[in-house]
Structure 1
Amino acid sequence: MKKSRILGIAVGATLAMGLSASAFATDGYQLIGIGQYAVGMAGAVVAAPDDPLSAAMSNPAGLALMTPQAAFSAEIFNPVRKTNLGFGEIGSHSNVYGVPAIGWVAPAFAKNWVFGGGVYGTSGLGVNYLQNLGPAGYAQAYSSITFMQMAPSVAWKANDRLSVGASLNIAAEQGSFQQTFSQNAPVVVGVGPNGPITQMMPQQGGLNLATPSWAYGVGATLGVLYKVNHMVTLGATYKSPILFTPMTWQAGLQNQVSPATGNGVIGAPGQYSGHLNYPQQIALGLAIRPIRQWLVSIEGQWINWHNTMNNFTIFGPWTAYQGGAAVGGLSSIALPMHWSNQWVANFGTQYDVNNWLQVRAGYTWGSNPISNNTIASNLIFPAIVQNAITFGATQKLGMGWKLTEAYMHEFSNTNTGPAGSSPFGGPMPASATMYENSYGIQVGYDF
């Protein structure tokens, strides 16, 4: 069993996150939108924010165009994941998560200035796998990461055409993961004249950082809206990386030595830590109203996953082994993830049926940041879905109240590794399959 494969599959668990930068795997592991208006528009709201949630999250400049209001959203997120560690396909036992969010906007300290923002919390996208390795034993994989973000924002309406805004992204994440195995395997018990002497013995090992750990981070979002004329609006947003303090775990023995070769690393009982930052991204949008009642919004995004998800480094009391013998201490090990940067295209449309009803629909596509060649290192975090459709509606109930609903379906996608990619030497290649549904409702009130 190769060390890189054991470690690669283990670290995937640390990355199962719910996000506004979110841990749910839609665009990588980012939700396509926060709030049910944004979901119904398939995330295409950079040039067309319509409520405090879509503005604070996607383009804070939109807050400058809004009357004082508040919104609360509750979403049920249903990602279905399956994996094959080389011994047959299995499913995760955790498939339902809650995504709450609240946003607001109010007048600020001067004319044409507003203050707003939002707080977004998710339960996180984790997995819970138990894989039978046949007579050799079994592997257990568990992961859970919670992500929460607060985004206090200010916006300024410079004139009838131009608005600008900024958000301070204050975030917290909690992570825990475990990928352990128990199997009968040949173990190096000595060295003879013809090389290592092996004997079949029960072995246990893997990476076990199951105690939840909190980390805290900060970043910023800058946004601009420009109204070209009564039909066309342009929008742009830059989100800086969110830089987190390290997650730390007090953990026991971490055995990553191959029983067949005696090569790998062992971590002594003690403290382990690792950073999981969130990537910078750029979004450009175009909103068009062919007629007053009809809105069409198009958006393109670039997400810099490669800078944060190329490797995950775990610091701790590691010792390297060669042929069953210790060869030196290590302060850290780098677990390869090898994510690519992602391009995302969002399309959304809305039609005002009458004075109290709006209907909307959308489509989003994102390039897959995980390739077939690297899926074996990402099986516990299969952020591989690419195509989604969405539907939504808003009813204006009177006296300032409005109700918004949305549904999203992300179509199934499968990544299959090359022959021999099973992390436990199974006869089948490693693979991951994922599809998603979400159902949400949002209550808004105009003051």
Structure 2
Amino acid sequence: MRKAIFNLGLFLFSISAIAQAGHILQGVGSVNMSMGGAATGQPLDISGALQWNPASISTFNETILNFDLGIFMSSPTLYSTIPEFDTNGQPTGNIYSGVTNDDRGNSPMPALALVFGKENSRHTFGLSAFGISGFGVTFPESMSNPINMPQNMGGFGRIESDYMLLQIGFTWAYALSDNFSIGIEPTLNFASLELMPNPTANPNQAGYPSTNKVNSTGFGAQIGLFYDSKTGFKAGVSYKSTQSFEDFEFENTYLDNSTGANSFNMDYPAIYSVGLGYSKSDFDLALDYRIVDYENTDGFKKTGWTQTFSVSGFGWKNINILSAGVQYKGINRLPIRFGYTYSDNPIAEDVAFFNIPATAIIKNAFQFGLTYEISQKFELNAMYHHGSSSGKTSGQILNPMFIQNSPPYGAIPGSDVSYDMTTDLVMLGFKYVFNKKSEATSN
């Protein structure tokens, strides 16, 4: 029963949390996504507030339910070039290049959030279930692209990955005064990971194995502070701790039908966020800045080959994320929003090869959204997102047999592997207000 509930939860809430900033989704829900993910200092809706600053839910004086469902579309492309060698291992001067397009298809993207307050209390509570992280590609085996040629011909064959993270948050916020709030959110996480071939396993003479999809659970927390001047200016800061996971335990099957097992640990990185907001008349402005700490996160801080030629980790750098959004409320019952998100690329040139299964890096993303206010209790939300990697992530193809002549990872002279992508997301959702809590607060 526990396993069935676990799998159902992953299917419903994180099947398509495909990476936008590193492997982190830039926002949650229609409203927050359409603001570029900015919400730390400008809580326009409960989903963005619960995701980026637990203290800011104290601004909501009602019991509110949000549900959003989107369709995510991505188009990664994988390129590779390899020099031709003669029977003596010397380059002939000829090169072999090819391109493979992803055939993963479209995926649903849901988000569920609930905030409620107790009458005559400074306390506000929240519950959320968000798919906050993921990556995934499906590059079919190909005789026209060196990297996707069968393993017995020097390639990797079909390259497929599927990582999903569902985070359930239990949030409490306390209004210290009319201006200041604090909030804390313990988090329970469920993740699944599939890799084919599995580079974290030791290869045998037939190559790297395929593996089953495995699950892991993790725990963490988020804490935040929020300030509302009541004159339009707002500010917030938050810290989401590293989400520490159990090891993924893989059961591997090699091309010669032999089997084996290995474990791999991959945590979710700590995130530092600071945000500003300003509301005046018909406009709401939001600006967030984040630092994602990949360099101190298991699964990402290490990279390179082990002594048995498995891959020790992704080797990602810390990244900066800038999110900005504006909401215009001058149209009766129809607020509209525009958002922009910029993210660094965590993948350096020298480790691009190790990150072929996680190509979904979006540098620039643009969003548009709107709300239709049907009544005081019920609203419909919609948004559209388009993102681009704005160029290729590129590096040399690596082989541990070349390490002696090309340290530290064994780059093959004259080779190249690169990838780029675009993403599109269409999302619809609703907000329902059950009842208002008392405007008065007391201890």
Q: Could you say which residue in structure 1 is the equivalent of 2:47?
A: 53
Aligned match for 2:209, one of 207, 212, 216: 207
Aligned residues of 1:18 and 1:29 also touching (Cα < 8 A): no
Distance verdict in 2 for CA 1:105–1:91, change over 3 Å: same
Q: Could you say which residue in structure 1 is the equivalent of 2:87?
A: none
With 224-233 and 297-306 compared, the bigger mean Cα shift is at 224-233
Distance verdict in 2 for CA 1:180–1:34, change over 3 Å: closer
Tell me whether 1:298 sits opposite 2:284 in the alignment.
no
Aligned match for 1:270, one of 229, 245, 260: 260
Shift of 1:284: 0.5
TM-score normalised by L of structure 1: 0.78
Aligned residues of 2:23 and 2:134 also touching (Cα < 8 A): no
For 2:114 and 2:254, the matched residues in 1 are separated by: 47
Q: Could you say which residue in structure 1 is the equivalent of 2:221?
A: 220
Shift of 1:372: 2.3
Give 2:273's aligned amino acid.
A
Distance verdict in 2 for CA 1:19–1:347, change over 3 Å: farther
Q: Could you say which residue in structure 2 is the equivalent of 1:154?
A: 172
Q: Could you say which residue in structure 2 is the equivalent of 1:284?
A: 274
Shift of 1:412: 3.8
Shift of 1:218: 0.7
Runs in 1 of length 4+ with deviation above 4 angstroms? 17-23, 318-321, 418-428
Q: Could you say which residue in structure 2 is the equivalent of 1:407?
A: 384
Aligned residues of 2:350 and 2:396 also touching (Cα < 8 A): no
Aligned residues of 1:222 and 1:239 also touching (Cα < 8 A): yes
Distance verdict in 2 for CA 1:424–1:142, change over 3 Å: farther
Shift of 1:250: 2.0
For 1:370 and 1:238, the matched residues in 2 are separated by: 23
Q: Could you say which residue in structure 1 is the equivalent of 2:197?
A: 179
Q: What is the aligned residue count?
A: 383
Distance verdict in 2 for CA 1:270–1:411, change over 3 Å: closer
Q: Structure 1: which 5+ residue stretches go unaligned?
A: 1-16, 182-202, 256-266, 322-332
CA deviation string 1:225-278 (max 9, x = no partner) = 1023412101111000000011112223489xxxxxxxxxxx973331111100
Q: Could you say which residue in structure 1 is the equivalent of 2:85?
A: none
Shift of 1:417: 3.4
For 2:369 and 2:18, the matched residues in 1 are separated by: 20
User: Residues 233-272 of structure 1 correspond to what in structure 2 (within 5 A)?
Assistant: 233-253=234-254, 269-272=259-262
For 1:173 and 1:18, the matched residues in 2 are separated by: 13
With 81-90 and 333-342 compared, the bigger mean Cα shift is at 333-342
Shift of 1:44: 1.0
For 1:366 and 1:223, the matched residues in 2 are separated by: 22
Give 2:38's aligned amino acid.
A
Q: Could you say which residue in structure 1 is the equivalent of 2:74?
A: 79
Give 1:105's aligned amino acid.
V
Shift of 1:60: 1.2
For 1:74 and 1:168, the matched residues in 2 are separated by: 25
Q: Could you say which residue in structure 2 is the equivalent of 1:163?
A: 181
Shift of 1:207: 3.4
The two structures, once aligned, show a CA RMSD in angstroms of 3.1
Shift of 1:426: 9.9
CA deviation string 1:117-172 (max 9, x = no partner) = 21124895321112324794761211112221111111112221011111111110
For 1:285 and 1:122, the matched residues in 2 are separated by: 19
Q: Could you say which residue in structure 2 is the equivalent of 1:433?
A: 420
Shift of 1:85: 3.5
With 435-444 and 246-255 compared, the bigger mean Cα shift is at 246-255
For 2:171 and 2:398, the matched residues in 1 are separated by: 46
Aligned residues of 1:22 and 1:122 also touching (Cα < 8 A): no
Shift of 1:411: 2.0
Aligned residues of 1:274 and 1:313 also touching (Cα < 8 A): no
For 1:207 and 1:296, the matched residues in 2 are separated by: 50
Distance verdict in 2 for CA 1:426–1:180, change over 3 Å: farther
User: Residues 82-161 of structure 1 correspond to what in structure 2 (within 5 A)?
Assistant: 82-86=77-81, 87-108=97-118, 111-121=121-131, 124-129=134-139, 130-132=141-143, 133=146, 136=153, 139-161=157-179
Counting strand residues as a fraction of each chain, which structure ranks higher? 1
Aligned match for 2:301, one of 299, 307, 310: 310
Tell me whether 1:37 sits opposite 2:31 in the alignment.
yes
